């Protein structure tokens, strides 16, 4: 069980079955939304308990994705695809009360990352095209 | 490049701004408040006094007073993290990712480096300051 919450405390998250690794998305949409790379940890939809749901606002691209944020303090909460049956929540790592033991293992949309910064370490890095091709393969395999 | 004019805005497009006279560099703050607000990795560009002009959507900018002396701004429609600023005075930092491009801008500092989770780190060498060093230099704790 892992817990986290927004800056003002209106929204608290309790996660079961959370993955033990982080992923970063460098697409321009995630950059705009979060201020830089969106670094997340995946939680299955059935494993996430949201306390203070009244304070959660969502920005939705219909049929595609949803971004959750706290309407009081603006904290970025999660990203999830809406066009996948599992609708996994990608929880923003900054919310976690304890983010230890969660290595960054993959980066996507690396081709949209500004040249000015980069994460250290060797791990999987995919362009946007590679990421979307993998997503389509995974969906057709389901 | 000190007189360069930069443009940016939020994800949904409601908020658009012009930034004039900013130095061509940005920094990271790893404090727990910036991490919660942004979702993880807060990169920001220092805004010179009077350097920011809202082109549209100023009414979509919501603010949250996060400490006695500072507040944070976000788009109430899409939740984009936009800025940190002092409630009094001119100090302001704009979320780097909201700029249309960071081309030509250098990453020159990381503060609250001792608060950064071990899970990730930025490559390269630059000025890095712990919380104690920041408090000593600027005389403030949580922001």
Q: What is the pLDDT of residue B108?
A: 98
pTM, rounded to two decimals: 0.94
* ipTM for the complex shown: 0.94
> pLDDT at position A141, please?
79
Which of helix, strand or coil describes residue B33?
helix
A135 and B CB contact within 8 Å: no
Please identify among residues 88-107 of chain A the ones whose CB lies closer than 8 Å to any CB of chain B: 92-95, 99-104
Q: How far does A93 lie from chain B, in Å, by closest CA?
A: 5
Contact B79 A76 (CB under 8 A): yes
Q: Chain B 105-134, CB below 8 Å of chain A: which residues?
A: 105-107, 117-124
Q: How many Å apart are CA A75 and CA A70, to the nearest integer?
A: 5
Q: Reading across the β-sheet that carries B81-86, which strands appear in turn?
A: B61-65, B70-75, B81-86, B92-95, B42-46, B25-29, B106-111, B127-129
- Label residue A58 exposed, middle or buried (CB < 10 Å: 0-12, 13-18, 19+): middle
Identify whether the C-beta of residue A39 lies closer than 8 Å to the C-beta of residue B39.
yes
Q: Answer whether B73 sits within 8 Å of A74, measured CB to CB.
A: yes
Angle at alpha carbon of residue A102, lines to A16 and A55, rounded to 5°: 50
Give the integer Cα–Cα distance in Å for B65 and B58: 17
* Residue percentage of chain B with pLDDT more than 90: 90
List, for residues B41-73, the tens digit of each pLDDT value: 999 999 999 999 999 999 999 999 999 999 999
Round the average pLDDT of chain B to a whole number and report it: 94
A69 close to A79: Cβ distance less than 8 angstroms: no
State whether the Cα torsion A122-A124-A127-A128 is positive or negative. Answer: negative
Count of CB pairs separated by less than 8 Å, A with B: 164
Give the pLDDT mean for B77-102: 96
Confidence at residue B138, expressed as pLDDT on a 0 to 100 scale: 82
């Amino acid at each position: 069980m892992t817990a986290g919450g927004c800056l003002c405390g209106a929204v608290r998250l309790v996660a079961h079955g959370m993955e033990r690794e982080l992923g970063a998305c460098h697409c321009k949409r995630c950059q705009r939304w979060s201020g830089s790379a969106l670094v997340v940890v995946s939680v299955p939809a059935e494993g996430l308990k949201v306390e203070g749901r009244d304070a959660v606002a969502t920005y939705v691209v219909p049929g595609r994705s949803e971004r959750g944020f706290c309407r009081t303090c603006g904290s970025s909460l999660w990203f999830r695809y809406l066009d996948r049956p599992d609708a996994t929540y990608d929880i923003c790592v900054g919310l976690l009360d304890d983010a230890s033991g969660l290595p960054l293992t993959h980066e996507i949309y690396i081709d949209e990352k500004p040249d000015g910064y980069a994460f250290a370490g060797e791990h999987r890095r995919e362009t946007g095209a590679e990421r979307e091709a993998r997503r389509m393969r995974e969906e057709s395999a389901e | 490049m000190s007189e360069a004019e930069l443009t940016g805005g939020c994800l949904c497009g409601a908020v658009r701004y012009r930034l004039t006279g900013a130095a061509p560099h940005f920094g990271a703050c790893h404090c727990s408040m910036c991490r919660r607000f942004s979702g993880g990795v807060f990169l920001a560009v220092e805004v010179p006094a009077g350097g920011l002009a809202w082109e549209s959507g100023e009414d979509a900018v919501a603010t949250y007073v996060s400490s006695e002396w500072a507040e944070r701004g976000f788009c109430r429609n899409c939740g984009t993290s936009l800025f940190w600023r002092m409630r009094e005075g001119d100090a302001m930092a704009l979320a780097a990712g909201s700029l249309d491009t960071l081309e030509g801008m250098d990453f020159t500092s990381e503060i609250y480096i001792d608060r950064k989770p071990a899970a990730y780190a930025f490559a390269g060498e630059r000025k890095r300051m712990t919380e104690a060093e920041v408090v000593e230099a600027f005389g403030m704790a949580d922001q």
